[in-house]
Amino acid sequence: MQDTQPKPFITEIPLVEVFERLKRVKADVWQKDFCDRLQKATENRHEKGTRALIHAQPQLGKSVILAQAFPVWLLGHDPAHRFALATYNIKRSQRHAKVVIRMMLLPDYKDMFTNRLSHIPESTSPDNFFTFGRFELNDGQASFNPMGLQSGFVGSGADTLAMDDPYKNSDEAKSETIRENIEAFADEVADVRLTEYANWFGMFHRYHQADLAGYLLSKGEFDYWRYASEADGDYIDDETGLVYRDPLERKNGEFISTRFSAAYYEKQKKNPKTWYSQFQGKPTGEEGSTFNVKKIEILDPVTDAERIEEMRARCLHWARAWDNAATEEGGAYSAGVRMGIMPDEGILIDDVKRERVNTAERYDLQLETAEDDGFLVPVLVPQDPGSAGKDTAFQTKQMLENKRYTCYTEVVSGSKELRANPFSLAVNAGRAAVALTEPVRREFFKELKNFPLSTFKDQVDASSDAYRHLYRLLKSGTVIKNYKESRNDVDRLVFAAKYGEGVPANWKIYAACFISDDASKPSGAVIAAHAAENSGLKDTLFILDEFKQFSGDHYQIFNWIQKSGYRIPNVYLKTGAESIVNAARTKLKIPVSIFQGDDTDGIAELNWHFLPRNEPHPFNPGERAAGIYFLKEKDDSLLAARQESVLWKFNEKGEPQPFGGVVMNCVRMITFAFRTFAGRLTNEEREEKSLPATFRLDQINAQKDEITEQEYGQMLITRQAKLNIPKILGGKKKMQTGIGRFKK
């Protein structure tokens, strides 16, 4: 049996010398460094084993050193050493074994290592072979054990394990199934058979973020000797954040070997994927391949709060898109990305939810997130192929819409790369900004940078779906252009503080209906009020109440109007069924006017009301006034109208979607066909308006608590006197007119 802790290793001949003599070459600088590192790891093995990953470009001699010269040098010094070589299949490992055998049979080898125990028989099989020293131990464990990465150790251990080229090609590295099989070999076969004093070296090209090198680096147990073809600074592992310096400490731009010209390297750079994976030892460059993350504007939620709010205000449309997963532990994430788009096609990503959850937990997460986002941010859910995907999308949509949130489902088609292409164009054009906390941003950027070679693609998928939806919305256009929640939504309590409970009696009340006799299509109605002249508001419309329902029973709308409690002089109606018109006139017992315009009439007038005005906002000092306000009692008040103000859009023919804006269609009819006007002032209101501001009743009453009762009474007397002056003057004019006529 071999001792668990090995004896100190004493080098008699340096590894680089064995390499040069037996291979008849002169070692490059990097090859000397590589040999020195392998030698040092072996000399220190009695203290603790070394685990290191190695990268160097193709045809640079790395396998010749690790898989051939290194085991020869090891067995020459230590005949009892157990060296295992694992490659993507056992035949490739056996080819290296044949070379090792030939080298150990050379006279130069026997001259360097004279101890017979370090030699091998003239007739030696590459399946696995023994030095004479190892053979005498009679434990059945080979000096050189060639393996395939999925064939296992077959009951033997190793003092040094070298893994060289675990994948036959890049396609295998991109196959999740093959990656999982090789990870299982590393965890369940190799790791358990290596003691703490064993050395483990892996040599790789980097084809994927989650390839075997990426997987082993993520454990934080391996060093990384990355001999990049062109020095490009430190390598920072995406998963652990560990920093690996250039082994040769070269300056940026310095090439690894003079055996290749600068022109050769420039040619390789023309294929970025090959350049990074096979020459630079990383799946992608720091900028990323599909997504150039260097082009993304980074905004800190704390220090850039003002800039973020300014960008949020510029966004015309918002959406939260989800990529679904149902794995609680391990596996993919469920990710929801909130994105806004601006008129210049710039996008802002200001929130990302990303968790490993089961199906029930995912529903909870999506509902909680919708509650945080509010009713005006639609939710996008992918519908994966197959009945299961259809059921999942339907259940999510039903769950959210039962809570009155807007949810769209879209069938997933095409590859992930194809789906991501429009979003990547926006990013690479410098039109994207993110306002995320540092931990969330780090995970988001990591995925974008490595896509499509990233371990996970959930955030990219969600972002791609959000961008596609928003871009289409921007280009096809929404019917209502200038709705803004902080400008157009007014709390009823704030309104009441200025105009009293209810609606002032002299304000003009309107009602309009948009009715479908098809129960699968929504019908709607709205009640609105136009502010009177004495309100101080010019051409201003207030939306008071709404009705929206999928029902073929139009009497529900008529009942709703009757029970509203408002005095409505006329109802405006749009429908294609004459029977509904007759029913409305019979049921409501008030005038019913039929809207004769087409589907676009009134849109210009409606948008004019939404435009911000160059005058102070009557309810929100931080905003400019508008011509239309939604009177809200709570967050979901007038929800249909407010959602439609955000989401009602034109179709591909440039026509407004008839059932995408049922409630706002009613408002459109009011603003166009019936030409709203303010209620006329009463005689008393005109007299009040004619007074100087200091003598108006509201101003006098406002000072009542600050003046004496005598002063208060005197102000009322003066006010009444000023009111009487026009009456006296008017009487004199009548008398004069009468006298004149009489004289005449």
**Token pair of 488, please?**
């157009």
More confident residue, 204 or 285: 204
Residues 6+ apart with CB under 8 A from 82: 2, 134, 141, 142, 143, 145, 156, 157, 158, 159, 160
Q: What is the share, in percent, of the chain residues with pLDDT greater than 90?
A: 50
pLDDT of residue 577: 67
Q: Is 36 helix (H, G, I), strand (E, B) or coil?
A: helix
Under CATH, which number does the domain 485-673 receive?
3.30.420.280
Instruction: State mean pLDDT over 183-188.
Output: 88
pLDDT of residue 640 exceeding 70: yes
DSSP assignment of 124-186 equals: --SSSB--HHHHHH-SS--SEEEEETTT--TT---SEEEEE---SSHHHHH-HHHHHHHHHII
Q: What is the dihedral of CA 319, 325, 327, 331, to 10 degrees?
A: -100
Return left, alpha or beta for 536; rule: phi > 0 is left, psi -120 to 50 is alpha, else beta: left
Compute the average pLDDT of residues 88-97. Answer: 92
The answer to whether 605 and 480 have CB atoms below 8 angstroms apart is no
Any idea what the Cα angle at residue 660 is, between residues 659 and 665, rounded to 5°? 75
Residues 6+ apart with CB under 8 A from 544: 503, 509, 527, 528, 529, 566, 631
**Could you tell me the strand order of the sheet in which 379-383 lies?**
297-298, 432-434, 347-355, 334-341, 317-323, 379-383, 407-411
Distance CA 438, CA 401 (A): 33
Q: Is the pLDDT of residue 321 over 60?
A: yes
**Helix or strand (DSSP H, E) at 116:** none
**Interval 379-383 mean pLDDT:** 92
pLDDT at 734 over 60: no
Instruction: Give pLDDT, residue 167.
Output: 86
For 394, the 3-state DSSP assignment is: helix
Q: How confident is the model at residue 155 (pLDDT cuts 50, 70, 90)?
A: low
Q: Report the pLDDT averaged over residues 176-183.
A: 86
Q: What is the pLDDT of residue 743?
A: 30
Element (H, E) at 331: none
Number of H helices, E strands in the chain: 28, 22
Q: Can you give the pLDDT at residue 675?
A: 54
The pLDDT value given to residue 729: 46
Task: Please compute, for residue 628, the number of CA atoms within 13 A of its CA located in the half-sphere on the CB side.
Answer: 25
Give the pLDDT score at 596. Answer: 79
pLDDT more than 70, % of the chain? 91
Burial 249-285 (b: 16+ CB within 10 A, else e): ebeeeebbbeebeeeebeebeeeeebbbbbbbbbbbb
Query: How do the domains of the chain map onto residue ranges?
Result: 15-280, 293-475, 485-673, 697-743
The pLDDT assigned to 68 comes to: 96
With beta carbons less than 8 A apart as the criterion, state whether 356 and 443 touch.
Answer: no
Weakest-pLDDT range from 217-231, 291-305, 403-417, 705-719 = 705-719
CA angle, residues 473, 478, 484, in degrees to nearest 5:
105
**Which fold, 15-280?**
Rossmann fold (3.40.50)
Residue 735 one-letter amino acid? M
Span 391-407, average pLDDT: 89
Residue 736 reports pLDDT greater than 70: no
Q: Using pLDDT thresholds of 50, 70 and 90, give the confidence band for residue 740.
A: very low
Number of Cβ within 10 Å of residue 319's Cβ equals 24
pLDDT at position 453 is 81
Residues 462-492 have pLDDT tens digits of 999 999 999 888 877 889 988 999 999 999 9
Q: How many CB atoms lie within 10 A of CB 81?
A: 24
Quick one: fold of 293-475?
Answer: Nucleotidyltransferase; domain 5 (3.30.420)
**Mean pLDDT of the region 57-82:** 95
**Confidence (pLDDT) at 733:** 45
Beta carbons of 199 and 220 less than 8 angstroms apart: no
Chain centroid to CA 241 = 22
Specify the pLDDT at position 732. Answer: 45
Half-sphere exposure of 164 (CA within 13 A, CB side): 26
Contact 574, 665 (CB under 8 A): yes
Topology alike, domains 15-280 and 485-673:
no
Return all residues near 276 (Cβ < 8 A) that are at least 6 apart.
Answer: 206, 282, 283, 284, 285, 289
pTM for the model: 0.63
- The residue that leads in pLDDT, 309 or 588, is 309
Average of pLDDT values for 386-404? 84
pLDDT at 674 (0 to 100):
56
Query: According to the model, what pLDDT value does residue 678 have?
Result: 45
Cα(631)–Cα(638) distance, rounded to whole angstroms?
Answer: 8
Distances (CA, A) of 737 to 507, 728, 730, 731: 37, 14, 11, 10
Lowest-confidence region among 123-137, 160-174, 299-313, 669-683? 669-683
